[in-house]
Amino acid sequence: MARRSGRAQKVGDQVQRELSSILHRELRDPRVGMITLTGVEVSPDCAHATVFFTCLDAAHVPEATQGLRRAAGFLRTQLAKRIKLYTAPELRFVYDESIERGAHLSQLIDSVTGGQKR
């Protein structure tokens, strides 16, 4: 992962907080109901933001992705009203597989060690 500037990181953190709030309070799309935002990477010029999310149920990922992409314009508009930037970043949504991958690795380790704790 590339090193982000301090400003881009702060903007990313703020975008994540505001989007989480908008998703849970204002967006009425049932496809987007059970997601969690895990991170936001903002380009150095703050024109683009990659928003990482995870779902409670992995089978729900395609429809959640579709719902988020469809709502991207609404989310960007609401975000522009809440944060003070010259232009609100264009939003791109990506499923975050790191939690799923971590759980799988944990299962593999448990199967090798027999689930014993040290």
Q: What is the C-alpha to C-alpha distance for residues 33 and 68, in angstroms, rounded to an integer?
A: 10
Asked if pLDDT for residue 99 goes beyond 90, the answer is: no
Q: Which pLDDT tens digit goes with each residue over 49-80?
A: 999 999 888 888 899 999 999 999 999 999 99
Sign of CA dihedral 36, 38, 42, 48: negative
Position 51 scores a pLDDT of 95
What pLDDT is stored for residue 73 in this prediction?
Answer: 93
Structural domains of the chain, with CATH: 6-113 (3.30.300.20)
- 70/6 Cα distance (integer angstroms): 30
pLDDT band for 1, please (50, 70, 90 cuts): very low
More confident residue, 97 or 3: 97
